[in-house]
Amino acid sequence: MLLLMQMTLKNQEPKILTSRQRDVRMLIEDFNRTIDIWIKELDQYNFKQICAKPSLTSWSLGQVYIHLIEETKYYIEQIKICLSSNENLIEEASPDAKTMFLNNDFPDQQIEGAATNSLIPYQTKSGMSLYREF
């Protein structure tokens, strides 16, 4: 993911940047810093801790990382689509989305679901597989 965003940045680096290009560049740099933090934080845990689930209805840390990796890949594709078109230019973000973007943060809440939920990410097979995905 990090390499993809770095390549995108390098391939779109004109000599004079427009305001939109500067904004995109700043977002990509922020994104890359966030990925670095995720990777560094992963170093604090052993494989057993990464796989431990606090309860039957909670995800393990490894599952959270897999969720972040998979969703980030999806949203990178959505960003590319948005940057290549003005189709929804006049659309407005939902109030919750505006708050998250303004705060640059997700709501501080624990989300739980049924243990049988089919959308639960698979359990990681190794800590190294998480590193490789980044």
Q: What is the mean pLDDT of residues 17-35?
A: 81
**Token duo for residue 118:** 């089919």
Could you give the angle at the alpha carbon of 74 between the alpha carbons of 72 and 77, nearest 5°? 110
Q: What is the mean pLDDT of residues 93-120?
A: 76
Is residue 60 within 8 A of residue 50, CB to CB? The reply is yes
Banded pLDDT at 113 (limits 50, 70, 90): low
**pLDDT at residue 86 in the model:** 86
Residue type present at position 131:
Y
Q: Please report, rounded to a whole number, the percentage of residues in the chain having pLDDT higher than 70.
A: 73
Largest Cα–Cα separation, the chain? 53
Whether 104 shows a pLDDT value over 60: the answer reads yes
Nearest residue to 47 (alpha-carbon basis) of 107, 133, 124? 124
Rounded to whole angstroms, the Cα distance separating 134 from 124 reads: 14
**Token duo for residue 3:** 């390499």
Rounded to whole angstroms, the Cα distance separating 36 from 30 reads: 10
Helix or strand (DSSP H, E) at 19? helix 19-42
Whether 91 shows a pLDDT value over 60: the answer reads yes
Banded pLDDT at 6 (limits 50, 70, 90): very low
